[in-house]
A and B are shown apart, each in its own frame.
Chain A
Amino acid sequence: MSAWRVLTVSCGGPVATPLCEAHRPLLLVCPADATGEALAGAVAAANGAAIVGRISSVERLGADLLVSRSTHGGRLSTQLRLKGGLAVATAHDPGQVDGKVVIGAPSNLAIDCTPLSEDTVSLEVADIVVSGGRGLDAAGFAALERIAHALGGAVAASLPAVDLGLAPVARQVGQSGKFVNPAIYLAAGMSGTLQHFAGVGPRARIVAVNSDRSAPVFGIASLGVVADAAVLLPRLADALEGKATEGRHAEAAA
């Protein structure tokens, strides 16, 4: 019988609190976002905890705990065995756990915040995400903005596209970016690396647009279009804006 308890953690209170020795073996699972990562690190440092990273599954094996995670940009899978003590992890979906705990905020750093005037849909909650890679240029991303606006969706980007300055890093999806799980994920001008699609949840239906029929992205898409995105995306934006206008007229007439 495993004595391990697995608890999800939410952030609250002023400081990271050292945890009681009696509550072990214990795995604390923080959210896989910037706040969760900061909290997990603070707890690990304050308590001498083991770190198992961003986990995808947890399994009890006798007295041990076996956790799985991906490494090397999602190209390798790693299993780690925990023999006891305290461990911290992060997860997008912690699965079934034994309970929840609130632990103090990791830092009292003085940070000045200036709200940005952003009237777009939040990437994390968008039901439709339209994403561009380095196969697009600034005009391509402008077309993606129009498409997202017409659909009530959000624009995302791959790491190379962000590196090229085509989109802000807040829009970066992937192993090293945000995790999204929309109904539709339009991937335009990107090859389809594991690193990028590690940031797209299993619910998403992938729609791929690429001029190269052999691009790996077509291997994970449920719908594909072999086309020059520079030609297709502006026309797609026109078509969707036309539908949106028709919809507004129909509503006004009703």
Chain B
Amino acid sequence: MKIVVLIAGVHDPKWPIDAAAALSAPGDRHIMSPFDEAALEMGLRLRDAAPATEIAVRIAGGEGATKIARTVLALNVGDVAVIAFERAWDQAATARALAPECEGADLVLLGREFGDFDDGLVPSTLAGLLGAGFFARAQAISFEDGPTLLRETGASEERVTLSAPLVASVTNDRRTRLRKPLMKNVMQCRAATIESRVVAASSPPSPLILEHIGPAAMLRATSAYTMLEGAIDEQVRALADTLWDARA
């Protein structure tokens, strides 16, 4: 089986962000999202179960993604490259630029959101471009009856057996927390050369223009705020009355 894992990276949420930072090379504040980590761990588990599995990892963010690339190398993935997009804010262009990176893959794994500019449409578009099946928001992998991806929808558990070419977007789940690399591997990968290239979408000029990017407005007003003071029993009583009265 040939697996391609696509890692988007996000701007570290611990740091403030502005328009310039959002559109420039992300540098050392570019980290893997929980979704990226889960997608990578899923690929590693498939390799654990079948050592002949080939894994290629492509990491968005250009030169700024080198730190992530070294982490991936330290997990014993040999085929690692960082890629940069000309229009990272354009989800369709991103999907089209990713498609050639996935040619020949039996399975493409990527986070349910491909980076800060995506809200879930890059994975499904990529599946369409590749003519592959699409399994959204995979949470875990099982090997009981052959490799099977699992997800819960709230009302049911859904499973898909890996067979035909498939794109799976992966969401965070405690069962797919990313493993830690061995320290000796981390040290060995510090000086490794990482392939880096710009990938362009092979499509006509887009009718889409980035008009503006800036700080988001506050979502909610902060007026009419009440703090329940007093001893814990008084707080509990007042809160219980409020919630009880609010029932439909």
Binding site for B on A (CB under 8 A): 16, 32, 34, 37-42, 44-46, 48-54, 66, 69-85, 87-88, 90, 106-116, 118, 122-123, 127-128, 147, 151-152, 159, 162-165, 168-170, 172, 175-176, 183-184, 186, 193-195, 197-198, 202, 205-207, 209, 218-227, 231-232, 235-236, 239-240, 243
In whole angstroms, what is the CA distance A254 to B217 when docked? 51
A164 x B174 contact (CB < 8 A): yes
Residue in A51, A114, A170, A240 whose Cβ sees the most chain B Cβ within 10 Å: A51
B156 x A163 contact (CB < 8 A): no
B208 x A81 contact (CB < 8 A): yes
In whole angstroms, what is the CA distance A53 to B248 when docked? 34
Given A37-B124, A222-B224; A111-B116 close (CB under 8 Å): no
Residues of chain A lying within 8 A (CB to CB) of residue B128: 16, 41-42, 44-46, 106
Instruction: Tell me the smallest distance from the CB of A86 to a CB of chain B, in Å.
Output: 9
A176 x B113 contact (CB < 8 A): yes
SS class, residues of chain A in contact with chain B? mixed
SS class, residues of chain B in contact with chain A? mixed
Residues of chain A lying within 8 A (CB to CB) of residue B18: 76
A77 x B217 contact (CB < 8 A): yes
Given A38-B124, A77-B217; A183-B246 close (CB under 8 Å): yes
Q: How large is the interface on B (under 10, 10 to 19, 20 to 34, 35 or more residues)?
A: 35 or more
Q: Which residue of A lies closest to B222 (CB)?
A: A219
CB contact between B124 and one of A32, A54, A106, A231 (< 8 Å): that residue: A106
B248 x A123 contact (CB < 8 A): no
Residues of chain B lying within 8 A (CB to CB) of residue A81: 208-209, 211
B208 x A80 contact (CB < 8 A): yes
A116 x B232 contact (CB < 8 A): no
B116 x A77 contact (CB < 8 A): no
Residues of chain B lying within 8 A (CB to CB) of residue A163: 34, 172, 174, 177
